[in-house]
Amino acid sequence: MAPAPSRPARPLASARERRAWLISASVTALLVLLIAWVAWRFLAWAVWHAVWSVPAGPDGAPNTDACRAALGEGACWAVIGEKYRFILFGFYPYAEQWRPALVVLLFIGLFAASLFRRFWHPSLFVVWAGALVFSAALMWGGFAGLPFVPADQWGGLPITLFLATVGLALAFPLAILAALARASRGLPLLKGLSILYIELIRGVPLISLLFMASVMLPLFLPPGIEIAKLLRAQIAFILFAGAYLAEVVRAGLAALPKGQYEAASALGLSYWQSMRHVILPQALRHTVPMLVNTFVGFFKDTSLVLVIGIYDVMTTARTAILEPRWQGFGIEVYLFLAVIYFAFCYSMAGASRRLESRSATPLAATEEPA
């Protein structure tokens, strides 16, 4: 058998390939050096030259002279050690801060359990509902010898977790109903109301909804009836998240082929049975990345409650560095906040990846070999 003819040498192409390789290698080396230099500078600032604690002054207050001397050269992590309780719990009574700490640990534990497939069971929703009720009761107190703490004194991380968790938990079923109403054909009035709600909420910024809930809503209430500011903000978040999630769910419904609807009808299923057992499971499975992206953005948007005077974790952090002795050390506080936000947002992303892998398993198992 005759050997394959050899390809003629292309000196010009070879020279171009070598030049492209040299350029690529040079750019890669420069990027590696830049990253190494940035990492070295950050470690020098954050670790080696950092001030981790400061002594007390003659008046008992922290003496920040060491931090001032290292300003620009090293971080002052002493501000975190001094202000972490205020950042995490705000103006909640100091002696009772074990209660919001327990609430935060409960939320973290449930978030962590939700990442593992073995806990994905309908009873998990019951556990979450019970945990939310218990957390709210523990924060308020007024029973079992616990002093009553009004919601106006709540602050910090528990506020962020409550607004995000309760908001998403109640906005999701609202979004499903709004998406089904907008996609319906035989109920024009219901469809029109759904379109009005979705487009009206999506057409205004979240800050305007918070102002409406804080300023305008009390004007429409009967005399003597007052809704707590935190609850009003929660309602605004639920309506806002529900409108955005409704469009995500509607996209999943529109992505399904008509054959799925016809198959459900051929099985003799009613509208709600087909939606529960056939349509919605597939639609939501296709929209998991978009849903989680909306969840992450919504979790970070809780920082906007500052405009109506609610002290979430971002607001308490800003307030902590207003004290004159700690002014100039905001970078350390914001890095501390970045770690908190990253931990929760990355957990949501991890849960979505696990949910996607679990949802893809049944489909892969039912595929026929080619």
Residues composing the chain:
370
* Residue 9: pLDDT over 70: no
Structure token digits, residue 301? 């948007």
CA dist., res. 167 & res. 275, Å (int) = 24
Q: Is 130 exposed, middle or buried (0-12, 13-18, 19+ CB in 10 A)?
A: exposed
Distance between CA atoms of residues 206 and 242, nearest Å: 12
Average of per-residue pLDDT values in the chain: 84
41 band by pLDDT with thresholds 50, 70 and 90 = very high
> In the block, which residue shows the tokens 């556990």?
127
Two structure tokens written together for 222: 């009967």
pTM (predicted TM-score): 0.81
Question: With contact defined as beta carbons under 8 Å apart, do 143 and 80 qualify?
Answer: no
Q: What average pLDDT score do residues 341-353 get?
A: 84
Q: Phi/psi class of residue 61: alpha, beta or left (left: φ > 0; alpha: ψ in -120 to 50)? A: beta
Domains delineated in the chain? 77-361 (1.10.3720.10)
Q: Are 124 and 116 in contact (CB under 8 A)?
A: no
Q: What is the pLDDT of residue 362?
A: 44
Kindly state the tokens that stand for 56: 């007390």
Most trustworthy range by pLDDT among 92-106, 177-191, 253-267 = 92-106
Q: Check whether 177 has a pLDDT greater than 80.
A: yes
CB burial of residue 147 (10 Å; 0-12, 13-18, 19+): exposed
Q: What is the pLDDT of residues 125-142, one digit of tens each?
A: 888 888 889 999 999 988
Tens-digit pLDDT profile for residues 196-216? 999 999 888 888 888 888 888
C-alpha 163 chain-centroid distance: 10
Per-residue model confidence (pLDDT) at position 352: 77
Which amino acid belongs to residue 50? A
Closest CA to 173 of 112, 245, 222, 104: 245
Q: Say whether pLDDT at 316 is over 60.
A: yes
Q: What is the C-alpha to C-alpha distance for residues 82 and 343, in angstroms, rounded to an integer?
A: 22
Report the Cα 345 to chain-centroid distance in Å.
5
Mean per-residue pLDDT for 9-36?
82
